[in-house]
Each structure stands twice: as structure tokens, then as C-alpha cells.
Amino acid sequence: MSKVLVVVETDGTTIKNASLPGVTAGAELAKHTGGELHLLVVGSGVGDAANAVGAAGFGAAGVHVADHAELAPFTTEAWTDTVVAAAKALGATALGGTATSTLRDVIPRAAALLDAPLAAEITGVKGNNTFSREMSAGRALADFTLSGSVVCFTARASDFAPAAAGGAAPVSAVDAGTPNKRGAEVVGIETTQSARPALTEASVVVAGGRGMGSGENFAPLETLTDLLGGALGASRAATDAGMVPADLQVGQTGKVVAPELYFAVAISGAIQHLAGMKGSKTIVAINKDPEAPIFQVADYGLVAKWEDTLPQLIEMVKAKKSS
């Protein structure tokens, strides 16, 4: 029987929501291949997290834990060794997960070590080892079938619904050998503390573009973001110009998001940016250029200067929240 192994990321105690679309993709593949879905939790001191994943189940036949001190803090080298060893030990016929920043590093390297074909950033599972993915920054879609004793994939989070909990799964340790960092060493970790939700997990994203003019002008966007309980984002043009930090970038070379509500303010809508947010449920665009490409994907569009619009919008939201 085929066995689809999905790598699940955790925060040490619970599953990260960003992993759930990858679980959905794995479940769809297992259904097409007539096999079983298995989940793999990797890290150091992740026993509680693995038990939480097992309790949720997500339709998996089993949850496997690879726990080793060398797996935290994260290094690509150590995690890749562990994932490959676990896939071999469990006899996985498919290996994958959500295309997060972590698994974008790990899964391709694991595929190379397993001599397995890789389907990266898939947007759909069409059949037995058959996937779809965007080409040329979303200008075209391609379907293709992988062939091999093991196949690997990463799933785009915006194109798969988060897996729903259901049916507890047994949890067991897997012998994943001794991870080798190959000389890599994490000398320090700098984190950004924020009361806002993570950009990839927020239900509301308010993003600004080059048309904002400066970092100081992002202040009203931050106000709107906090009023809506969302996350702040930006186009690559805005981050490249130094207006806001690079980790706020949404787009083909940044983060891919699919919130319930996406505000695109002073963003022209280049194809690279659209590739990162066009899966949003509702898109609101504010731009002074009536020919801006962003209006082609927007559900609601306002041709106006942000300077004239944002203050009024903020006051309206405040009034609505206080009523």
C-alpha cells in the first residue's frame, strides 16, 4: 500500500496552521493513490506537539515523531537528514508538506537525496501522482505526472483548504538516525515581536505599495490593520525601497497569502505581486491609476489617492466598531 508522508511544523506544543494546507494536499494524494496518510513531526522536545497532532488526527493513519536535540534551532541540513531517514524507515511512497519557508528548503533537498522527482508549489492534486501548478508567475497552469518509487511535493497554502481535525491517530517514535548539521551553526536568532497575527495566517491583510511614498506613510495602513485585527503586508517595490521590512513582502518572491480580506493600497498589481495574493477571498484595491492591473483581480476597486481615502476609511471602521 502506498504511504503519503506529510511533514508537519509545530511551535513546540501545537501544530502551526500553515502546515494544514499541506496535510490536505497529502490527504488528496493518498485518496487518489489508494494509500494512507501519515504525518511526521520533527524537532527537539516536540512530544507534546506530536500528541496534539495525534489527538486532532486529520484523517491520518499515524503520527510519527523524530525528536532530537540537534533539530533545534532549525538547520536545513539536520532537518533534511531526519526527514529522509524517516521517509525511508516508514517506507513512504510520497513525501511533502506546505510550501513554507522551512519546507521550501527541506523538501527539495530531501528529494535530491532520495533521487525522487519533485512537484514544487502545487496548486492541485489531479490524480495518481498527478499535480497542477502555475507557470510563468500564474500566466498559465500545467498538469504533470511524476514517476518514481518516491515522489515529493510542496503545496501552495493559498490553494488548499486547511485540514480539519477528525479521528485521533496513534503517535509513535520513528528512528530517523542522527542528524548531521555539516558544520552549520546557528549563532543567534533575531525575532520580531508583534501583537498582530502572522502574515500567512491572518484573516485580514492590509498591504501597501510603492505609491505610499515612504515608510512614514505606512502609519495609516498600520492603524487600519490594527482596527481590523489583521496583518500588515507590502509589495516588493515597497520593501526594496526600504519603506518596510522585507519580511512583509507579499508576492512570488515573498509570502503567499489567501486571507478572507485583502486590502491593496497604492499597489499597481504587477504579476509578481498577484501571484502572492490573488487567492484572497475578497480583494479591495485603492489606486489613483484607473488602468492599474490590480483592478482586474479586485472585487471592489476605488480610483482615488490613498491620502484622501484612508483617513475616511479609518474613521468609518472606528464608527462601525463603536456602534
Rounded to the nearest angstrom, the gap between the alpha carbon of residue 237 and the centroid of all alpha carbons in its chain is 21
Q: What is the pLDDT of residue 222?
A: 97
Quick check: bond before 245 cis, omega within 30? Answer: no
Least confidently predicted of 28-42, 85-99, 130-144, 288-302: 130-144
Parallel, antiparallel or unpaired: strands 231-234 and 204-208: parallel
Mean pLDDT of the chain: 94
Q: Which amino acid is at 295?
A: F
- DSSP per residue over 98-117, as a string? E--HHHHHHHHHHHHHHT--
Q: What is the pLDDT of residue 207?
A: 98
Rounded to the nearest angstrom, the gap between the alpha carbon of residue 138 and the centroid of all alpha carbons in its chain is 17
Q: How confident is the model at residue 164 (pLDDT cuts 50, 70, 90)?
A: very high
Query: Residue 169 pLDDT more than 80?
Result: yes
Query: Residue 180 pLDDT more than 90?
Result: no
Q: What is the pLDDT of residue 152?
A: 98
Inter-residue contact 265 to 306 (CB < 8 Å): yes
- Can you tell me which residue has the cell 491609476? 289
Task: Give pLDDT tens digits for 244-266.
Answer: 999 999 998 899 898 999 999 99
204-322: CATH number: 3.40.50.1220
Decide: helix, strand or coil at residue 152. strand
Say yes or no: do domains 3-173 and 204-322 share a fold.
yes
Q: What is the pLDDT of residue 291?
A: 96
- DSSP per residue over 200-249, as a string? TT-SEEEEE-GGG-SSGGGHHHHHHHHHHT-EEEE-HHHHHTTSS-GGGB
Query: Residue 191 pLDDT more than 80?
Result: no
What are the residue ranges spanned by the domains of the chain? 3-173, 204-322
Task: Give pLDDT tens digits for 92-127.
Answer: 999 999 999 899 999 999 999 999 999 999 999 999
Rounded to the nearest angstrom, the gap between the alpha carbon of residue 70 and the centroid of all alpha carbons in its chain is 25
Cell of 234: 507590502
Task: Give pLDDT tens digits for 218-246.
Answer: 999 999 999 999 999 999 999 999 999 99
Q: Which amino acid is at 2?
A: S
Q: Residue 148 has what DSSP assignment? A: S
Helix axes 306-322, 219-228, angle to 10 degrees: 30
CA dist 11 and 52 (Å) reads 11
Q: How confident is the model at residue 177 (pLDDT cuts 50, 70, 90)?
A: confident
Residues 273-287: what's their mean pLDDT?
Answer: 94
Cell of 34: 489508494
Task: Give pLDDT tens digits for 57-92.
Answer: 999 999 999 999 999 999 999 999 999 999 999 999
Exposed (0-12), middle (13-18) or buried (19+): which is 322, by Cβ within 10 Å? exposed
- The CB density around residue 105, as the number of other CB atoms within 10 Å, is 16
CA dist 247 and 234 (Å) reads 9
Q: What is the pLDDT of residue 135?
A: 85
Q: What is the pLDDT of residue 194?
A: 76
3-173: CATH number: 3.40.50.620
Q: How confident is the model at residue 151 (pLDDT cuts 50, 70, 90)?
A: very high
Residues 133-141: what's their mean pLDDT?
Answer: 82
Instruction: Enumerate the β-bridge partners of residue 278.
Output: none
Query: Residue 192 pLDDT more than 80?
Result: no
Our CA angle for 300, 303, 306, nearest 5°, is 100
CA dist 165 and 53 (Å) reads 9
Q: What is the pLDDT of residue 1?
A: 78
Q: What is the pLDDT of residue 313?
A: 96
Q: How many CA atoms lie within 13 A of 301 on its CB side?
A: 17
Q: What is the pLDDT of residue 106?
A: 98
- DSSP per residue over 68-92, as a string? -GGGSS--HHHHHHHHHHHHHHHT-
Residues in contact with 145: Cβ distance below 8 Å, sequence separation at least 6, in sequence order: 127, 128, 129, 130, 131
Q: Which amino acid is at 177?
A: G
